[in-house]
Structure 1
């Protein structure tokens, strides 16, 4: 801290009283981002327009990518010299701490082998179980019963809803590497304003399911092909309170699951075909965004992405603009799927309901079907010796 110019008051030793730290000021985060961004741009980085936290730099055959979360950085490059140069530059501008090869980042545990990269949140899962007093609970095979239904009117209101809200918030972060609990956590998050005892009981059931495999996570295969493909589906009028449908999709790059989402649609769909069509439009937007990310990373994806849907009527509406009478009430932005099909960036295909992987994110499944879907999505138990866990591969 420096005194203002010409600020003198005799020759006595002066002490400044700090009323509020700069780190806590409202402008602090904006100033930090502005300083960091200008420094990286001056060093030759290009800020991605698709994800403003991603910076990339190409220099001949050398490529380096920098991903930022507030003041935590992830660096990836095909040149160790480029990484060393970047660390030297950052250290000259800011005081940095080099943590070496990536193993733990914001609660994510990362392991590498010849099979690929495995992501899990084992420590974070155990912390949730310990804080909830569920470390000694009996494990369950399913996060939710197959024929389970829940609404706002069930159960008695909680006297202290903060317990439920805090637990759901932590479970939402756990879904980064455990998409198998994404549907039920998303469902419970809709009752944050007035949670009841029934909602809390379902949340504790999720913890019992997590107890069965706390190290379960994503395996990003090293042998995946460079091909985007997505599965989309919807659960028509599934919400008992609003009768709105639920959109769900999952996107793969080769064999690796890289994106998934479950979200209640903003309007009430008049038919299951309309609900499926809206789901296709949302998935199309996600595929378009992922293409931009790949382009920023210097990865070419000229071939069409494949979009799988199990509803023949929705596939016909997407491919045939003649169905005016059945679609004139649908917003124009939903028809972007037609443009993408015509320009060849997306092709649609039918998939049977039994092979619809997006069902994992939208409704309760029987145990055998859930395990089959998780296996196809590359979700494995990090420490299990029976499912091909990464730790078994000594390479």
Structure 2
């Protein structure tokens, strides 16, 4: 879904048209008479239809196919389960690829892309996480009920069917990331600094992955990528070349981050905890704090009368 969000942002920025096609998958409900390989058989050579059409498969997402024209046009095709998303500024190629796909597959043209998720019957709630979790001591590590949190998210979506991030056209294109809440990481850390370093490294890897996608699309952006962190100690250690005994166990992460900083690929900035937008994804906030962050994220309700 991250690739879908990238395309949505680019579509809004460049005013591209976004089209959707559905591929009929009869095998989902039919009987199979032929032999099916659950693993790639020995000697198999990849030869996709899209490559035959002159498209390049992205190294960042193998379901993303890109074709550049001699006139600097670009056509992007993304496969998502049995759906195909097509966008770009090359109108001729978008028409031709639709005709070619129709000769290879049984497809249905759905027009402009509108939504992915359908409505689910449930009671609505105002926040996606419980703001008042009850904590207690346990001799053994309790099992986390992931389905419970998933159900809470669905309940929130039910009560806010039109709310989401509105992608708008801007004069500049910038890449920014926020380090998530430390306690959400499934790592055993010796200190908060170590945990933060691992989170920073993870966020940096996500930005580098995003760079691969944009490089494949030949998209340029303004300035270095920005990584926001609320831990001043971690930021100071990154910029300090002196190795301390208490940080020697995180030297690999530190050198990796410092290398990208010196190359100018990314820059780090401090952000106070009260302005950390990532909290909305990792903490059980009360209604007031939750809606404050919703506003700061620029989320809007398409069904609102205002």
| TM-score normalised by length of structure 2 | 0.77
**RCO higher in 1 or 2 (8 Å CA, sep ≥ 6)?**
2
Aligned residue among 165, 173, 179 for 1:218: 165
Partners of 2:69 and 2:155 in 1: how far apart? 50
Matching of residue 69 in structure 1 with residue 80 in structure 2 = yes
Aligned residue among 51, 61, 67 for 1:57: 67
Matching of residue 45 in structure 1 with residue 30 in structure 2 = no
Partners of 1:81 and 1:343 in 2: how far apart? 39
Tell me how far 1:346 sits from its aligned partner. Answer: 0.7
- Label 1:36 to 1:361 Cα distance change in 2 as closer, same or farther (>3 A): same
Tell me how far 1:352 sits from its aligned partner. Answer: 1.2
Matching of residue 289 in structure 1 with residue 209 in structure 2 = yes
> SS of the counterpart of 1:92?
helix
Partners of 1:87 and 1:204 in 2: how far apart? 38
For 2:126, the equivalent position in structure 1 comes to 141
Matching of residue 384 in structure 1 with residue 304 in structure 2 = yes
Contact 2:120 / 2:154 at 8 angstroms: preserved in 1?
A: no
Contact 1:281 / 1:335 at 8 angstroms: preserved in 2?
A: no
Partners of 1:30 and 1:152 in 2: how far apart? 48
Alpha-carbon displacement from aligned partner over 1:339-360 (angstroms, at most 9, x marks no partner): 1111111111111111111111
For 1:85, the equivalent position in structure 2 comes to 96
Alpha-carbon displacement from aligned partner over 1:36-95 (angstroms, at most 9, x marks no partner): 953211221111111111110011222101111244211112132211111122222333
> SS of the counterpart of 1:66?
strand
> SS of the counterpart of 1:99?
strand
**Runs of at least 5 residues in structure 2 that lack an aligned partner in the other structure:** 1-29
Partners of 1:189 and 1:210 in 2: how far apart? 25
Contact 1:232 / 1:283 at 8 angstroms: preserved in 2?
A: yes
Alpha-carbon displacement from aligned partner over 1:323-344 (angstroms, at most 9, x marks no partner): 3312212262464111111111
Alpha-carbon displacement from aligned partner over 1:236-258 (angstroms, at most 9, x marks no partner): xxxxxxxxx32xxxxxxxxxxxx
Aligned residue among 348, 352, 365 for 2:285: 365
Superposed counterparts of 1:258-337, under 5 Å: 264-265=185-186, 267-301=187-221, 303-330=223-250, 332-333=252-253, 335-337=255-257
Partners of 1:204 and 1:89 in 2: how far apart? 41
Range with bigger deviation, 305-314 or 72-81: 72-81
Q: Which has the larger radius of gyration?
A: 1
Contact 1:220 / 1:378 at 8 angstroms: preserved in 2?
A: no
Matching of residue 347 in structure 1 with residue 276 in structure 2 = no
Partners of 2:93 and 2:104 in 1: how far apart? 17
Partners of 1:204 and 1:296 in 2: how far apart? 37
**Runs of at least 5 residues in structure 1 that lack an aligned partner in the other structure:** 1-18, 109-120, 154-187, 193-198, 236-244, 247-263, 387-395
Count matched residues.
272
